[in-house]
Chain A
């Protein structure tokens, strides 16, 4: 057994002295799969794809408070005594790939059983012409015999001074969830290997998905963010109250892409919605007639308006809106299509349902109370979200499915309206 204290000290020294240059060179952007944690559990098996020799440095950088013993190939140890000393001092476990020497497996299991962490690149070789090698079975063997959870990690290997690496940490895999007593151990190991490989490469999709979401800071969003800042100030001044249909304060935070479907009784409704949900970046569909004035169109576009031609089949506006929803923005829609001063919600346009189905996002019905005087409190009732997936899971939703969802939306809007009328003391 290697000297634990020495390894920790040496790794600590390496991390302190190397963190800045490593960060400048890699600038890793870390994404977390839903349910994953940023830090490693107490004892675990870190399993990653292998893109470059620098992968090891990357994991030193993104897990600075963990000592991970990485399995390292014999060729690295053969590069000279000093290099071999370095690898040993960083807690490396030597793997003799050409000989049938499996001492590294026993060593890894021992570390895991003593509450340590082991890191493996099961592809065991760097990709050739960008094509990775299939995962070897040793990682699954170690996982099965140690019962330590597996933390899958994916790196895109985009290291360089003017590049930025993306890393995704997956949620832990518990081996016991994948054991099947009907098959022999060899088959189990092969099955577990394919599960791990699939999970690691699935994280690549997570990076693609999460990086497509709108960034926290972006130059393009400045006008929208300024408008939100103004809205946050206006919230108490305009006396807007967010309530549930039961009449209690609406405290839920809406996360991810969602469609806000509101009634439309006045031209100030878009501002009311903007103020009520000021904490989120929001786009809204605006009729072509409002966007005729060029200056107004420029201003509205800046704060997130998407022009839609209500008379024609405006597929570009629909596609644009679907993309915004997929990127995680809110989208405000007035599905009645135009201002209805009598506040009758009998029919709505089903385009809103089309948007929800296409983007797989929920519709949140809200009812804005028309007010008689400017000094009245304006109540906004936020209804239950309507999830189109609950109504239809087919590849092509039929007109019947769309009608069912539209009817559910009308019902929920009406429920919000009657709740708004019933609230006492407004």
Chain B
């Protein structure tokens, strides 16, 4: 299972059917396409931290706009 697939699994667990993961692609915009607000972003970040064993900081959120940004950050942090 690659990072994107694991991420989708986290999404479906956290957003519990509110978000249809079938429509999410690497180019989906988090705020516009997936419709995640700032508190949703925090839920997501915490679940990702738990699943991938990484730690986010505030600067990471400034650079996140699409799903591929999230995947890149996870892979970058997991590699360290």
Residue of A313, A314, A401 most packed against chain B (CB within 10 A): A313
CB pair A312 B39 closer than 8 Å: no
A219 and B18 CA atoms in complex are apart in Å by: 48
- Give the number of chain A interface residues (Cβ < 8 Å): 23
Selected from A316, A350, A399, the residue in CB contact (under 8 A) with B15 is A399
CB pair B43 A399 closer than 8 Å: yes
* Cβ–Cβ < 8 Å partners of B41 in chain A: 313
**Binding site secondary structure of chain B:** helix
Known contacts: A354-B39, A395-B50. The answer to whether A313 contacts B14 by CB under 8 A is no
CB pair B14 A315 closer than 8 Å: no
Which residues of B28-66 are within 8 A (CB) of A?
38-43, 45-47, 50-51, 55-58, 60-61
A395 and B50 CA atoms in complex are apart in Å by: 8
CB pair B42 A318 closer than 8 Å: yes
Q: What is the CB-to-nearest-CB distance from A306 to chain B, in angstroms, rounded to a whole number?
A: 13
* Cβ–Cβ < 8 Å partners of A354 in chain B: 39, 42-43, 46
User: Does A400 sit within 8 A of B, measured CB to CB?
Assistant: yes
Contact with A along B9-25 (1 / 0, CB 8 A): 01001111010000000
Contact with B along A350-377 (1 / 0, CB 8 A): 1100100010000000000000000000
Q: Could you list which residues of chain B lie within 8 angstroms of chain A, going by C-beta atoms?
A: 10, 13-16, 18, 38-43, 45-47, 50-51, 55-58, 60-61
Q: Could you list which residues of chain A lie within 8 angstroms of chain B, going by C-beta atoms?
A: 309, 311-316, 318-319, 349-351, 354, 358, 394-402
Name 9 A/B residue pairs within 8 A (Cβ), A-sorted: A311-B38, A312-B61, A316-B57, A316-B58, A394-B13, A395-B50, A398-B13, A399-B14, A399-B18
Question: 19 new A-B pairs (CB below 8 Å) besides A315-B46, A358-B46?
Answer: A313-B38, A313-B39, A313-B41, A316-B57, A316-B58, A319-B55, A349-B39, A354-B39, A354-B43, A354-B46, A396-B13, A396-B50, A398-B14, A398-B15, A399-B14, A399-B15, A399-B18, A400-B16, A401-B16
